């Protein structure tokens, strides 16, 4: 993996803006980016996008021999891969620290929390069990991969249905989907991972790539100014996973605050995941054909004009912009008005502010204008 370089000016600006009570993309500290879940044609395949971070997930199953120590339990295997498609810093077919870290977190969150009823995956004790395999592919990395990946894992596991089996004597018959209705996976609880970035004493949920990178570099520079905190929690507000780095390690206050925020957000997320799965199921029962091509609608193609800009004012709204219908507005723009600041090109393709006389009075912003 190649390094991603963050310049001083990006770091300083972000640092300043966060301490100033705002965020680069106009969100509040506790606000997350827009979450979108769409399902593929098969059971257990979905694409989850959190802002511009996108993860594709697919669950598959096969019959295998169980492990010696757990003869009556099925097997769950989670595998996350990051390819160059996710960002130009990644290389193909290479395990990086990041992939190992993310895989470990997901395993902790979904295997060690025992959210899946593995015993129900058993077919014949000591001989045949179902092995569930979750394959995750990162399609785009814009920060907070772990949250996006964990939602993708949870959604595809909850959406997945395995074929039904019947035993007659020694024979085991696996029925196709046409013969018998498939069986959904049993989940005891729904854990989700959330990420918080720490700036000094401030907690920021769902950090984007730049916020994450600045936090990490603050942490590397030493001191307890930055750090990333990953919280795994289920809908009953039970903690399943806690991963602390940097400032979070020696500041329990921050962790407590993060947990309070996480509790509500996790509940919200799980409800959303459940309701989308129910919607999808009813649509499938009505034989509505579903697949990933549904994502590519006209609206989506036009949505290339991103609704979530990475740099955005708080009140900025794409829908506010309409082509000017009234001519008044056009006149205003076309007329070369005498501007307060004369910008003249001094060299080709450059411009320079020549006159900056007195304090400007027509933009009232400096008074720490917090809009609500």
Q: Give contact residues for another protein (rule: CB under 8 A).
A: 3, 5-13, 16-17, 20, 22, 24, 26, 88, 302, 304-306, 309-313, 315-316, 318, 320-324, 329-330, 332-333, 337, 339, 341, 343, 347, 349-351, 353, 356, 360, 362-366, 369, 371
Pairing of strands 75-82, 161-162: unpaired
Considering the complex, state which of residue 87 and residue 184 has its C-beta at the smaller distance from another protein: 87
Considering the complex, state which of residue 49 and residue 57 has its C-beta at the smaller distance from another protein: 49
Output DSSP code: residue 304: T
Considering the complex, state which of residue 28 and residue 282 has its C-beta at the smaller distance from another protein: 28
Considering the complex, state which of residue 170 and residue 364 has its C-beta at the smaller distance from another protein: 364
Query: Would the CA dihedral through 136, 164, 183, 190 be positive or negative?
Result: negative
Closest among 198, 193, 272, 260 to 233, alpha carbons compared:
193
Considering the complex, state which of residue 181 and residue 331 has its C-beta at the smaller distance from another protein: 331
Nearest approach, Cβ of 34 to another protein (angstroms)?
16
Output DSSP code: residue 186: P
Rounded to 10 degrees, the C-alpha dihedral 32/34/35/40 comes to: -160
Per DSSP, the residues of 78-119 read EEEEE-GGG-TT--TT---HHHHHHHHHHHIIIIITT-B-GG
Nearest approach, Cβ of 366 to another protein (angstroms)?
6
Considering the complex, state which of residue 15 and residue 60 has its C-beta at the smaller distance from another protein: 15
- Token pair 């090109």 is found at 345
Task: Tokens for 180, please give them.
Answer: 């018998």
Nearest approach, Cβ of 5 to another protein (angstroms)?
5
Nearest approach, Cβ of 226 to another protein (angstroms)?
16
Considering the complex, state which of residue 68 and residue 367 has its C-beta at the smaller distance from another protein: 367
The Cα 105–Cα 97 span in angstroms is 12
Neighbouring residues of 365: CB distance < 8 A, sequence distance ≥ 6: none
Cβ atoms within 10 Å, residue 154: 29
The Cα 8–Cα 255 span in angstroms is 29
Nearest approach, Cβ of 237 to another protein (angstroms)?
35
CB 183 within 8 A of CB 172: no
Q: Backbone dihedral region of 222: left (phi > 0), alpha (psi from -120 to 50 degrees) or beta? A: left
Considering the complex, state which of residue 93 and residue 346 has its C-beta at the smaller distance from another protein: 346
Nearest approach, Cβ of 313 to another protein (angstroms)?
5
Nearest approach, Cβ of 263 to another protein (angstroms)?
31
Distances (CA, A) of 295 to 62, 86, 306, 310, 349: 29, 19, 15, 22, 41
Nearest approach, Cβ of 339 to another protein (angstroms)?
5
The Cα 258–Cα 231 span in angstroms is 8
Considering the complex, state which of residue 169 and residue 336 has its C-beta at the smaller distance from another protein: 336
Nearest approach, Cβ of 195 to another protein (angstroms)?
22
């Amino acid at each position: 993996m190649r390094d991603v370089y963050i310049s001083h000016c990006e770091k300083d600006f972000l640092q300043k803006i966060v301490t100033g009570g705002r965020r680069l993309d106009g969100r509040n500290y506790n606000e997350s980016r827009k979450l979108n879940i769409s399902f593929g044609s098969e059971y257990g395949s979905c694409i989850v996008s959190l802002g511009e971070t996108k993860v594709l997930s697919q669950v598959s199953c096969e019959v295998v021999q169980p492990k010696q120590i757990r003869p009556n339990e099925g097997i769950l295997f989670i595998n996350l891969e990051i390819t160059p498609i996710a960002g130009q810093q990644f290389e193909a077919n290479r395990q990086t620290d990041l992939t190992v870290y993310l895989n470990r977190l997901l395993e902790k969150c979904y295997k060690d929390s025992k959210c899946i009823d593995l015993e129900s995956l058993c077919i014949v004790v000591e001989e045949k069990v179902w092995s569930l395999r979750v394959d995750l592919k990162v399609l785009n990395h814009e920060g907070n991969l772990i949250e996006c990946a964990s939602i993708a894992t949870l959604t595809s596991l909850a959406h997945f249905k395995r074929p039904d089996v019947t035993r007659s004597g020694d024979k085991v018959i696996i029925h196709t989907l046409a013969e018998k209705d498939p069986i959904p996976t049993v989940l005891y609880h729904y854990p989700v991972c959330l990420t918080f970035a720490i700036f000094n004493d401030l907690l920021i949920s769902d950090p984007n790539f730049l916020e994450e990178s600045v936090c990490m570099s603050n942490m590397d520079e030493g001191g307890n100014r930055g750090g990333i905190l990953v919280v795994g929690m289920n809908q009953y507000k039970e903690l399943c996973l806690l991963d602390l780095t940097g400032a979070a390690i020696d500041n329990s206050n921050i962790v407590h605050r993060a947990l309070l925020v996480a509790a509500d957000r996790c509940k919200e997320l799980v409800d959303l995941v459940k309701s989308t799965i129910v919607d999808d199921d009813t649509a499938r029962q009505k034989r509505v054909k579903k697949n990933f091509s549904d994502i590519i609608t006209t609206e989506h193609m036009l949505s290339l004009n991103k609704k979530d800009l990475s740099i955005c004012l708080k009140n900025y709204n794409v829908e506010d912009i309409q082509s000017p219908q009234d001519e008044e507005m056009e006149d205003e723009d076309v007329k070369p008005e005498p501007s307060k600041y004369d910008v003249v090109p001094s060299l080709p393709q450059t411009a320079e502010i020549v006159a900056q006389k007195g304090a400007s009075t027509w933009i009232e912003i400096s008074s720490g204008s917090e809009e609500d």
